[in-house]
Amino acid sequence: MAKKTNYSLFDDVCAFVDDAAKHLDLHPGLLDQIKQCNSIYKFNFPLRNDDGTYETLTGYRIQHSHHKLPVKGGIRYSEHVDEEEVKGLAALMTYKCALVNIPFGGAKGGISIDPTKYNINQLERITRRYTAELIKKKFIGPAIDVPAPDYGTGAREMAWIVDTFEAFSPELINAKGCVTGKPLSQHGIDGRTEATGQGVFYGIREAVNVDEDMKSLGLTKGLRGKKVIVQGLGNVGYYSAKYLSEAGAKIIGVAEWNGGIWDEAGIHIEDLKNYQLKNKGYKGYPRGEFIKNGKEMLTYECDILIPAALENQITIENAALIKAKIIGEAANGPVTEEAEKILLDKGVMIIPDMYLNAGGVTVSYFEWLKNLSRVSFGKLEKRYDMEKYRKLMSTIENATGEEFTEEERDALIKGASERDLVLSGLEETMVTAYQDMNRIRKEKGIESLRTAGFILALERIAVSYMDLGIFP
Chain segment 25-38, per-residue pLDDT in tens: 999 999 999 999 99
Chain segment 294-351, per-residue pLDDT in tens: 899 999 999 999 999 888 899 999 999 999 999 999 998 899 989 999 999 999 999 9
Q: Which of 72, 87, 108, 370 is catalytic?
A: 108
Note whether 99 and 439 are within 8 A (CB). no
- Domain count along the chain: 1
With vertex at residue 312, the alpha carbon angle to CA 311 and CA 313, rounded to the nearest 5 degrees, is 95
Instruction: Tell me the one-letter amino acid at 126.
Output: I
- Where b means 16+ CB within 10 Å and e means fewer, 195-215 reads bbbbbbbbbbbbbbeeeebbe
Mean pLDDT of 410-428: 89
Note whether 314 and 290 are within 8 A (CB). no
CA–CA gap between residue 405 and residue 464 (Å, rounded): 53
Q: Indicate whether 265 belongs to any domain.
A: no
Instruction: Single out the residue of 359, 369, 349 nearest to residue 446, CA to CA.
Output: 349
Q: Indicate whether 142 belongs to any domain.
A: yes
**Residue 3 pLDDT more than 70?**
no
Chain segment 84-137, per-residue pLDDT in tens: 999 999 999 999 999 999 999 999 999 999 999 999 999 999 999 999 999 999
pLDDT confidence band for 51 (50 / 70 / 90): confident
- 3-state helix vs strand vs coil in the chain, percent to 5: 50, 15, 35
Mean pLDDT of 177-200: 94
- Predicted TM-score (pTM) of the model is 0.90
**Residue 2 pLDDT more than 60?**
no
Q: Indicate whether 195 belongs to any domain.
A: no
Q: Indicate whether 54 belongs to any domain.
A: yes
CA–CA gap between residue 452 and residue 438 (Å, rounded): 7
- pLDDT confidence of residue 381: 84
Q: Indicate whether 212 belongs to any domain.
A: no
Q: Which domain holds residue 124?
A: 9-186
pLDDT confidence band for 472 (50 / 70 / 90): low
Helix (H) or strand (E) run with residue 271 in it: helix 269-279
- pLDDT confidence of residue 317: 93
CA–CA gap between residue 56 and residue 404 (Å, rounded): 67
- pLDDT confidence of residue 468: 77
Mean pLDDT of 73-94: 95
**Residue 1 pLDDT more than 70?**
no
CA–CA gap between residue 412 and residue 410 (Å, rounded): 6
**Residue 272 pLDDT more than 90?**
yes
pLDDT confidence band for 5 (50 / 70 / 90): low
Q: Indicate whether 325 belongs to any domain.
A: no
pLDDT confidence band for 4 (50 / 70 / 90): very low
Q: Indicate whether 375 belongs to any domain.
A: no
Chain segment 201-249, per-residue pLDDT in tens: 999 999 999 999 999 999 999 999 999 999 999 999 999 999 999 999 9
CB-based contacts of 425, cutoff 8 Å, min separation 6: 362, 363, 366
CA Rg value for the chain:
23
CB-based contacts of 192, cutoff 8 Å, min separation 6: 180, 181, 360, 363, 364, 367, 422
Look up residue 416 and give its DSSP letter: P
Q: Indicate whether 403 belongs to any domain.
A: no
**Residue 393 pLDDT more than 90?**
no
**Residue 416 pLDDT more than 90?**
no
**Residue 48 pLDDT more than 50?**
yes
Per-residue CA distances from 284 to 118, 258, 291, 357 (Å): 28, 12, 11, 31
pLDDT confidence band for 384 (50 / 70 / 90): confident
Question: Is residue 108 annotated as a catalytic residue, yes or no?
Answer: yes
**Residue 286 pLDDT more than 70?**
yes
Q: What is the CATH number of the domain that holds 25?
A: 3.40.50.10860
